[in-house]
Amino acid sequence: MKRTAVNPWDWSIKLGYNQAEVIEGATRQVICAGQTAVDGTGAPQHPDDMRAQISLALDNLEAVLKEAGMDLSNVIKLGVYATDVDEALKNFDLMGMRFGPHQVAPPMTLLGVTRLAIPSLLFEIEAIAAA
Helix, strand, coil percentages, rounded to 5, for the chain:
30, 30, 40
Mean pLDDT on 19-48: 97
Q: What average pLDDT does the structure give for the chain?
A: 97
Mean pLDDT of the 10-38 span: 95
Task: Classify domain 26-130 at the CATH topology level.
Answer: 60s Ribosomal Protein L30; Chain: A; (3.30.1330)
pLDDT band (50, 70, 90) for residue 109: very high
Pair 30, 118: CB distance under 8 Å: no
Q: CA 28 to CA 14: how far, in whole Å?
A: 29
Q: Could you state, in order of their start, the residue ranges of all structural domains in the chain?
A: 26-130
Give tens-digit pLDDT for 68-107: 999 999 999 999 999 999 999 999 999 999 999 999 999 9
Average pLDDT on 63-69 reads: 98
Question: CA angle, corner 4, sides to 72 and 106, nearest 5?
Answer: 35
